């Protein structure tokens, strides 16, 4: 009985020992396991170097016509001529519409004849005033008549000019809103006129970039209607005030529109090139986020790795700028970061693509 109890105790003791050894190996860190087994983790690395970096700011913008007006009637009368070719270019000063101006023309002719007669009488009174002092009052009265008639003639000529509607600048006519023969009232819209030879692009930029913005900077824009096409222009004006709600500033740029692809109202993706600098850039795969910080694994000379905090700047597709924490020549892990910890031994393989 005693011998059986002894064997049972030894069996239990052996099992307990095996369990303790299992727990020990389970709780070992990767680097301890590596050292215990004499193995190292195979990782892909990248050498940190300086490379050209284009600093950009992106935004959404709206396309506007360089010049844009609504063509309206300034007076009340019948429309007797209409020259609106929708979607066609019209030159500055070219006739768009003609209202009935028969009454105004007759009035101009009447006042013109009257003015000629009033001026002739004025000359007679002037000659009379040279010899007779009492004619001075007649001279003053006649001069008043001439001035009054001239003012009336100018007013009628102005109304006559309003009967003829011409293009204020060269542009493209919009859709026709009225028909020939219609009776127009003041303010009636006939059509629109847009100068589309250039597009004025309006977009907003955050306050943070205000000091870096300058007129003349290059602007690149794209639109979903033309995949792969990039429209290039320059900043022409920066608003003097910031929006107190969004803390952003409005910017206007001009883009050449020779092919007439862009139209007012289009939504454009905008990017502005602020500067071109040399900066440290690494693959975004090297970043190990922890809470609100970013880390990378730096490979030491003895092939151990050190987890190092970095400050990042601008992000690009597949790349990220490192502001601090690394220096040129450092070797960092870009693949295999999930299999290692600080102090682990690695077998580095430098990526040929550097990514």
- Which pLDDT score is estimated for 133? 58
Which residues of the chain carry a pLDDT beneath 70? 1-15, 17-38, 131-135, 352-355
Residue 248, φ and ψ in degrees, nearest 5: -130, 160
Using the CB atoms, write b or e for 200-213: b if 16+ within 10 Å: bbbbbbeeebeeee
Residue recorded with tokens 């369990």:
19
- Which pLDDT score is estimated for 35? 47
- Which pLDDT score is estimated for 275? 79
- Which pLDDT score is estimated for 38? 47
Instruction: Delineate the domains of the chain, giving CATH numbers in brackets.
Output: 28-53+279-350 (2.40.420.20)
182 three-state secondary structure = coil
pTM over 0.95: no
pLDDT in tens, 46-58: 888 888 877 788 9
How distant, in Å, are the alpha carbons of 7, 17, 47, 277, 292 from that of 20? 20, 5, 43, 58, 38
Q: Which residue, 221, 247, 243, is CA-closest to 233?
A: 221
Cβ–Cβ under 8 Å, residues 52 and 276: yes
- Which pLDDT score is estimated for 208? 87
């Amino acid at each position: 009985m005693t011998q059986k109890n002894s064997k049972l105790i030894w069996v239990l003791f052996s099992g307990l020992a095996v369990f303790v050894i299992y727990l020990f190996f389970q709780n070992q860190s990767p680097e301890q396991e590596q050292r215990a087994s004499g193995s190292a983790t195979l990782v892909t690395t990248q050498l940190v170097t300086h490379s050209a970096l284009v600093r950009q700011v992106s935004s959404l913008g709206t396309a506007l016509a360089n010049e844009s007006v609504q063509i309206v009637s300034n007076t009340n009368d019948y429309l007797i001529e209409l020259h609106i070719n929708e979607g066609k270019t019209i030159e500055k000063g070219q006739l768009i519409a003609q209202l009935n101006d028969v009454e105004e023309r007759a009035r101009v002719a009447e006042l013109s004849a009257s003015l000629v007669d009033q001026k002739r009488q004025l000359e007679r009174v002037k000659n009379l005033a040279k010899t007779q002092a009492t004619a001075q009052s007649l001279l003053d009265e006649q001069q008043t008549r001439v001035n009054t008639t001239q003012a009336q003639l100018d007013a009628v000529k102005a109304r006559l000019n309003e009967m003829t509607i011409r293009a204020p600048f060269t542009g493209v006519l919009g859709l026709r809103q009225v028909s020939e023969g219609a009776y127009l009232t003041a303010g009636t819209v006939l059509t629109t006129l847009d100068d589309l030879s250039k597009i004025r692009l309006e977009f907003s930029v955050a306050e943070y970039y205000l000091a870096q913005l300058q007129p003349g900077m290059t602007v690149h824009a794209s639109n979903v209607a033309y995949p792969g096409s990039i429209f290039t222009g320059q900043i022409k004006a920066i608003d003097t005030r910031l929006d107190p709600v969004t803390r952003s500033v409005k910017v206007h740029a001009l883009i050449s529109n020779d092919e007439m692809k862009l139209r007012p109202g289009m939504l454009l993706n905008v990017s502005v090139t602020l500067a071109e600098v040399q900066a440290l850039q690494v693959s975004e795969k090297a970043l190990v986020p922890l809470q609100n910080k970013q880390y990378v694994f730096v490979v030491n000379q003895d092939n151990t790795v050190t987890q190092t905090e970095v400050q990042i700047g601008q992000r690009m597709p597949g790349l990220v700028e490192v502001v601090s924490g690394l220096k040129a020549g450092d070797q960092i892990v870009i693949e295999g970061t999930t299999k290692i910890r600080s102090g682990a031994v690695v077998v580095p393989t430098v990526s040929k693509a550097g990514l």
